[in-house]
Structure 1
């Protein structure tokens, strides 16, 4: 979530000289990688593009009998289900809070198996993979030859150790007239703001797939007590009490987050489709610009490290492997003819925020038609995908608020410059493109703001009588913002200033959506607290969007 202005940094902000030598060395390599077409220059950026060496130069292979501590401390995950395949993931880390995870620079052989039953009596696929030190001993297997619309169970083994089991599901066959899909959406899980009670409940939900809409990780320091968690039975290492900047920092921060049993349970229960927002790298960054106006070469070095660690720690295919500070994260998935999912990346390609990223009345700087939130290539990809879509529901999982949010009751109200409100021409092109493509059932899923919203997407947000062209649902946060309240202090202002805003709740939780041939039902699931564990979950509100009649209606 955007902080107020480019200068708004927490007390844990990165000291100006922290890791400076390492970042400057990496920045020189990034600059060479980006502006020279020399193979050696690309290979030199080892910390962010280093591929496992082959032959005589490969890392030695570890005798797995020598692994004396559980290497599966970070759990298992699956993701991006296709009709005939799903990606399964784990990362070996017997000492997860150390830079090398406790396995040094050796390769480790890992066996995997996929079965039709939880007891693994009906195994349908097996194999082995190597966990390379260059990839932080992460393991990903694109398991192919599976049956469509089928639930599977999977696990890994190395030496005497067997991972926890995971459950996943393939997508229906292309062209299959599916009658139902249940999905969940989550975002924003600042470890230091509270427990992952939301994930504990999500793990028990009957859903086909989970969309994580960003801020999986926060770069801010976490103190020895775990921030708002207030640990009294453990002390976190001091390595976490600084802002992430280097590859080792990001890798260990993922280890901290994935040490949480509730997050591991959610991953083990459902396939995830993930996309990042800003905090996986740095608050409110835009393309090559960080929030403090640093040298872009220095920031690109940091971005390369962040992107690399993200890929290593998520169930993503090889096509999302970063090339230095660049990675194509936007991608398209289908659920038969019922739904097309266009997963966006609204950070990597965006124009820098207008008006120094402070809330501002729209003006020439923010409304410049050349400004973009997606970049030209992603925008064309999205519009072309809509034009060729045969799906009943076109779902756009993405990061920041798409619908207009007037932040006050003034005639010329301020808007957020970090959301689509700061890129109104870019938003306008998508609205026009959806209309031109005949997208009748457009559903936008959003994270970032740490609150739950339901919006009518309007053809003209300044004219409440204009046509409603879609529905936007924001999923609130898993932990970010701490406990929250049902009606935040600005509730009355926002509801009066934005007549297209149909629902607003400030508590932690997740979004559950059921799509069928007649409608989309959204349930806003919330918990009362995350600063203490154990809160129960309840449904704060439910809305239905009828097929062919966009906009959420309360039920």
Structure 2
């Protein structure tokens, strides 16, 4: 439990007292005493002369995200010594220049300006560049002192009323640093996609030893400060520094804009709302969640609307790609009811169908269905975290299912599917992470009746590294395919899924690498599937 291992959390919780933690909102106030916010323009603020930075501050690369028709969010962090708690910079703000151009050599500049990297935000920058042309590719970089960052490539979305002809996106998830190399990210950085969806488990809270776990480093040694579970704001910040120091992750961020959402490991395994895996006192866990959420926002290309307030953050949001696609990005962790029976595999029972239980929360559920009712898009894409389709895990009369996935929240899933039907959604595509395997499902109106109507398609991105190398046919391969007739594909190797949408069809290519415990493995397409617009149901591609 957190209280046994984390005196900082325990002291913070004791300072506030349990009786004040009657709601999640109350914990937001608790965070103020332990982690300060930037005093923008305050009399005591001091600027660091950037010419005094004597080593490269752009060690963690650049990133962009959430492309809109006229704007894109640019990110970087200043950290000359990323494995030090302060990143190698004093508690002073730094002025940083940014540039946006239509070419990689910056001979055709488009926009430029300055931004301030505050120490209270760990010298991260979130620059929301607006006034841009829609449906355009841009290049960007940052400068401070004598240092220039690497160049990133990004793009804006088509105008909301534009009849975009096509869109190609990739989906990735689950990148446990200690389980292997990010070879899939390197290949994805060289792939021709418009945007990347990261579906959660960007970070893992588990300790990473000096050899980098399965990476088994012999030419370097990681600091001992990584060899502990993340609990405090400093812990989470340092862990992001470790992950973002990976050259393959830096490459894919520089190559494509990202749309990110979290799952559980960005905070703690299998947490549910304000309930921790080990049932820690809420006043302690919410302080940990607040630290994790803050570090997540600091280290991702997210706009100010997603900035946390204590342990709360509005991560669910909507993006459009002209009239071709609408993306409804979900958060199935922050608002969910606690898991029933068990967090993972269990035969389940009537509580799975309790209408009082939810995986999205009532507000997000209404927001999703209302958005479907108003949509003008041909394809409705729902990036989210855990398996949406029914997934029986054995062939018994009362099979086990994952209580952490939508199978543990069947009433919640039923409301979403009924909402899609009532809204007239014809081309639903659910994008999923979490499972460390590639799956392709037909989403059925009644999963226990193979003849029932197909309402959409679910593509599950396998992990980037989590689970180590994996196998083309895991030991459960035959069982899962027999137990779930709506499951059309299952592969246990690492990689990503690439989806191309056009006016006639959606095509998914499952890209897999042969190994991640050794670097440099080749990539290949394990399988391809197509679902036609207006006629849901997967066919070999």
TM-score interval, smaller chain: over 0.9
For residues 231-246 of structure 1, the aligned pairs below 5 Å read 231-246=217-232
| Equivalent position of 1:491 in the other structure | 477
| Equivalent position of 2:460 in the other structure | 474
Q: 2:51 and 2:75 mapped to 1: Cα distance?
A: 22
| Equivalent position of 2:284 in the other structure | 298
User: Contact conserved, 1:443 with 1:471, CA < 8 A, in 2?
Assistant: yes
| Equivalent position of 1:448 in the other structure | 434
Residue from 75, 90, 94 that aligns with 1:89: 75
Q: 2:393 and 2:488 mapped to 1: Cα distance?
A: 16
Task: Tell me by how many angstroms 1:24 deviates.
Answer: 3.5
Q: 2:35 and 2:63 mapped to 1: Cα distance?
A: 23
Q: 1:101 and 1:26 mapped to 2: Cα distance?
A: 27
Structure 1 residues 51, 245: CA separation in 2 closer, same or farther (over 3 Å shift)? same
Question: Is 1:532 the counterpart of 2:518 in the alignment?
Answer: yes
Q: How many residues align?
A: 541
What whole-Å deviation, never above 9, does each CA across 1:45-97 have from its counterpart, x for those lacking one? 14456233432132x11011110010000000000000000000000000101
Residue from 55, 79, 82 that aligns with 2:42: 55
User: Contact conserved, 1:545 with 1:553, CA < 8 A, in 2?
Assistant: yes
| Equivalent position of 2:293 in the other structure | 307
What whole-Å deviation, never above 9, does each CA across 1:148-202 have from its counterpart, x for those lacking one? 0000000000000000000000000011000000000000000000000000000
Residue from 334, 338, 352 that aligns with 2:320: 334
What whole-Å deviation, never above 9, does each CA across 1:248-305 have from its counterpart, x for those lacking one? 0000000000000000000000000000000000000000001111101100000000
Task: Structure 1: state its 5+ residue gaps.
Answer: 1-13
Residue from 493, 498, 513 that aligns with 1:512: 498
Task: Tell me by how many angstroms 1:39 deviates.
Answer: 11
Task: Tell me by how many angstroms 1:145 deviates.
Answer: 0.5
For residues 379-394 of structure 1, the aligned pairs below 5 Å read 379-394=365-380
Question: Is 1:269 the counterpart of 2:255 in the alignment?
Answer: yes
What whole-Å deviation, never above 9, does each CA across 1:6-45 have from its counterpart, x for those lacking one? xxxxxxxx78633223443157559688659999983861
1:228 aligned counterpart, secondary structure: helix
Question: Is 1:282 the counterpart of 2:268 in the alignment?
Answer: yes
Task: Structure 2: state its 5+ residue gaps.
Answer: none
Structure 1 residues 107, 379: CA separation in 2 closer, same or farther (over 3 Å shift)? same
Q: 1:480 and 1:503 mapped to 2: Cα distance?
A: 20
User: Contact conserved, 2:102 with 2:108, CA < 8 A, in 1?
Assistant: yes
Residue from 165, 181, 184 that aligns with 1:198: 184
2:43 aligned counterpart, secondary structure: helix
2:100 aligned counterpart, secondary structure: strand
Task: Tell me by how many angstroms 1:414 deviates.
Answer: 1.2
Q: 2:208 and 2:28 mapped to 1: Cα distance?
A: 36
Which range moved further: 49-58 or 114-123? 49-58
Question: Is 1:126 the counterpart of 2:112 in the alignment?
Answer: yes
1:199 aligned counterpart, secondary structure: helix
For residues 5-20 of structure 1, the aligned pairs below 5 Å read 17-20=4-7
Task: Tell me by how many angstroms 1:367 deviates.
Answer: 1.9
Q: 1:530 and 1:176 mapped to 2: Cα distance?
A: 41
Residue from 240, 243, 249 that aligns with 2:235: 249
User: Contact conserved, 2:383 with 2:430, CA < 8 A, in 1?
Assistant: yes
User: Contact conserved, 2:392 with 2:401, CA < 8 A, in 1?
Assistant: yes
Question: Is 1:45 the counterpart of 2:32 in the alignment?
Answer: yes
What whole-Å deviation, never above 9, does each CA across 1:491-526 have from its counterpart, x for those lacking one? 011000000000000000000000000000000000
Structure 1 residues 82, 15: CA separation in 2 closer, same or farther (over 3 Å shift)? closer
User: Contact conserved, 1:43 with 1:49, CA < 8 A, in 2?
Assistant: no
| Equivalent position of 1:411 in the other structure | 397
Task: Tell me by how many angstroms 1:422 deviates.
Answer: 0.1
TM-score by length of 1: 0.95
| Equivalent position of 1:4 in the other structure | none
Q: 2:304 and 2:337 mapped to 1: Cα distance?
A: 27
1:309 aligned counterpart, secondary structure: helix
User: Contact conserved, 2:200 with 2:260, CA < 8 A, in 1?
Assistant: yes
User: Contact conserved, 1:330 with 1:345, CA < 8 A, in 2?
Assistant: yes
